[in-house]
Amino acid sequence: MYGTTDFRKKYEEYANIVNNALENCIATDDKPGSEIYNAMKYSLAAGGKRLRPVLALAVCDILGGNRNDILPFACAIEMIHTYSLIHDDLPAMDNDDYRRGMPSNHKVFGEAMAILAGDALLNKAYELMISHIMKKEGDLKAYVRAMNVIAGSAGAEGMIRGQTLDIGCEGCELSEDTLEYMHRCKTGALITAAVLAGACIGRAAETEYEALKEYAANIGLAFQIKDDIMDVEGSLERMGKMSGKDAASGKNTYVSVYGLDKAARLLDRSVSAAVGALGCFGGEAGFLRDLALFIKDREN
C-alpha cells in the first residue's frame, strides 16, 4: 500500500473497524432459504480495499463527528458497492469469472443466486441505515440527508446511469465529455456518496461540504482512470481479476480514448485537483491527501 507508515496504519485501522462491523451485519438462521446468507457473505467478506467506507469514516473523523453514527452508513455503502460488483460480473453484464482473486459469486452459487445475493445486499444496506436512524432522537436531518445522498448516488442518476452507458456504448466511440460523465456516474458517484455521507454526519459547514464534494469528484475520476490503466498493464495476480477485458469487449476507457500517456497525465491532474480542494482543512486533511496519492499508485 502507498504511503507512510502512519497512513498505512490509519487505513488499516479504518478497514478493520469496517470489517468487524460487516461481520455482524448479516445474521444467519436455519429456516428454509437461508442459503442466501452464504452467497451474501461470500462476496461481502471477499476483502477489497474498503475504500468507500474508509473515506466515510475518515471524513467524519476530520470533522469531529461520531464514528458510531457514520459506521452504519459506511457499511451500507460497502454493501451497495458489493452488490454492484456481483451484478457487474454476471454473464449478461461484464461476464467476469474472478473478483478480488476469487471466483465470482455466480461461478460459486449460480447466476440466479448471485442476482438474489446482490438484491439482498442492496436491501440490507437500506435496512441498516433506517434501523440506525430509528434509534436516534432529536434532529434527524443530517442522517436523512446522508441516506438521501447514498440512495441518489447508487441509482439511475448515479452508479446505475454509468453502468447503463458503459453497456450501451460498447463498440461505439464516445466523446471525451461523455466518457467523463459515464465514469463520474459509474465509479465516482458512490465514492462521492461516501465522502458526503461522512460530511453530513460530521455536520460539515457548507464551504467544507463543497470542498469535500470537489475532492470526491476528483478522486472518483482518478480511481477510474487508474482502473483503466491497470486493465492494460495489470495481471490477475496483482489485480484479483482478469486484465485486458475492456479492450476485448470494446469498452470506452481513458486508455482507449486518450492512450496510456495522456491517461496517466489526466490521472495526475485529477489527483492534484483532489489534493488542492482540501486547502480549507489545513493539516487535518493529511490522511485524505495521502489517500488520493494511494489511489494513483495502487496496483489493484
In the chain, the domains with their CATH numbers are: 5-297 (1.10.600.10)
Q: What would the grid cell of residue 97 be?
A: 469469472
Is residue 144 packed enough to be buried (19+ CB in 10 Å), middle (13-18) or exposed (0-12)? middle
The whole-number pLDDT of residue 1 equals 45
Residue 99 DSSP code: E
Residue 245 has a pLDDT of: 67
Contact, 264 vs 229, CB < 8 A? yes
Residue 155's region, left for phi above 0, alpha for psi from -120 to 50, else beta, is: beta
Q: Which residue has the cell 465516482?
A: 188
Taking each helix axis from N to C end, the angle separating 51-62 and 189-201, rounded to the nearest 10 degrees, works out to 30
Series of mean pLDDT values for 10-residue runs along the chain (300 residues): 79 96 90 95 92 98 96 98 97 92 96 98 98 94 98 97 92 91 96 98 98 98 95 67 63 92 96 98 96 92
- Collapse the DSSP code of 277 into the 3-class scheme (helix H, G, I; strand E, B; otherwise coil) and give the result: coil
Q: What does the DSSP 8-state code read for residue 175?
A: P
CA dihedral 21, 24, 26, 30 (to 10 degrees): 170
- Entry field: residues in the chain: 300
Distance separating alpha carbons of residues 101 and 114, to the nearest angstrom: 17
d(CA 299, CA 118): 26
Instruction: Please list the alpha-helical segments (H only) found in the chain.
Output: 5-23, 35-44, 51-62, 67-88, 105-109, 111-135, 141-154, 159-168, 176-183, 189-201, 206-233, 236-239, 245-248, 254-258, 260-276, 286-297
Q: How far lies 142's CA from each of 19, 85, 205, 221, 239, in Å?
A: 25, 28, 12, 26, 37
